Structure 1
């Protein structure tokens, strides 16, 4: 029996899923957390840029690329399951160099965002056709070696109309994205997105939102957590330190 490549295993996990049974990808921030998730039985992992930034003492988006790739490499070395990396906006790298760096780090997938930070707290959505062209370059450079998750930042940038997210998502799928990620899409928008987008859809799970199975029933194919699991771990650690102080 031929063992499938990790990238093929990850890609296959996105397809033929029953409603209510989405692909759940915990977000490890270091090797230790990655091993915990693997030991719990998860079939693949998705590193969160914000979680790794927090673990390394940076603000989100401020980790030097070299340190981010090194952190992801430590995670991929620690586990046997496929790992996909949040590569933010691609760090300004040319498509081939980005793909090479991802593969060198052991990642078999990546998130790529379609917005960037502006002045102050504002964010700027990239022209969708320019982003689609960039994704096509990444796909050409990667071939079938990476599962590309194209993030759609309309909701996080204050554009509430799901049709705007659908327009972008369709361009990205046509450019070769394996999955699209309308981050912070409200629960009521997920069925609309599901009806308008061909292929897998990634949804962010929130502490006060629907359960994982409910998100699947709404139309999510894949579920990630961003830095949420690290934040919950930090809250638990604070509880432990309080207990120590009372001992």
Structure 2
């Protein structure tokens, strides 16, 4: 059974697949050590490690980072491949073939070009190109980006994920949806697993399970938690000249040591 087979199977078990998003190999090893069964890269978190804005990684760096995470852990890894780093289906297909080559178990494709949502027919062609290039060797997640980019059009979102599923996507994802009514309607509207992004106001995991959601991811939020902890320690040192942050550092270091050991 390949990691891709395992990853696909994890979407069809009784429990919701909880899939956090590491930003580098070290964070991936910590997440694996905590017991998570699969991981996915985060474009925003990975970009932040290089001092870049989300969307600025580019294909080579994104795939190189994904390959490092794949090499660091034994669980399936899916990659956030943004818009496939191409507007045209041919370019998307090339990206997904390269994703197979670095050992990923899955990858996602967005319908957002960095400034606007793709016209639906073109977006479907891009999903189909990703699916055909993956040829069963990746679990392909098709993302409808409306709500995370301020386009509050649920009917369009539902129509898009239905079209993406019909084009062969294994999983559909509409990041930014947060209400039980809309998430439930999305689940009922497609016959493939639905993934949900953890955002403020989203229902709890047990509630999402009852709605029929099959996967939950964290996006860049855990990277922001890590950076916020560092910033808090930095403010203490600069403003108070004290080292209170060290009180928890030994325990925090032990978490890392266990993951790397």
What TM-score, normalized to structure 1?
0.89
Query: Structure 1, residues 68-114: CA drift from partner, whole Å, max 9, x if none?
Result: 11111111110011100000001116244212221232212111100
Match status 1:16 vs 2:13: yes
Shift of residue 131, structure 1, vs aligned partner: 1.4
**Which structure: greater helix fraction?**
2
CA distance in 2, matches of 1:100, 1:197: 26
Pick from 82, 89, 94 the counterpart of residue 91 of structure 2. Answer: 94
Answer whether contact 1:85 1:109 (CA < 8 A) is retained.
yes
What TM-score, normalized to structure 2?
0.85
Quick one: higher RCO (CA 8 Å, sep 6+), 1 or 2?
A: 1
CA distance in 1, matches of 2:49, 2:210: 33
CA distance in 2, matches of 1:240, 1:107: 35
Within a 5 Å distance, the mapping from 1:68-217 to structure 2 comes to 68-92=62-86, 94-118=91-115, 124-188=116-180, 189-217=182-210
CA distance in 1, matches of 2:68, 2:184: 37
Answer whether contact 1:162 1:192 (CA < 8 A) is retained.
no
CA distance in 1, matches of 2:13, 2:37: 15
Query: Structure 1, residues 30-61: CA drift from partner, whole Å, max 9, x if none?
Result: 01000001111111101111111111211000
Residue segments in structure 1 that go unaligned for 5+ positions in a row: 119-123
Residue segments in structure 2 that go unaligned for 5+ positions in a row: 244-261
Superposed CA RMSD in Å reads: 1.7
Structure of higher CA gyration radius = 2
CA distance in 2, matches of 1:46, 1:185: 19
1:236–1:212 CA distance, 2 compared to 1 (3 A): farther
Answer whether contact 1:7 1:147 (CA < 8 A) is retained.
yes
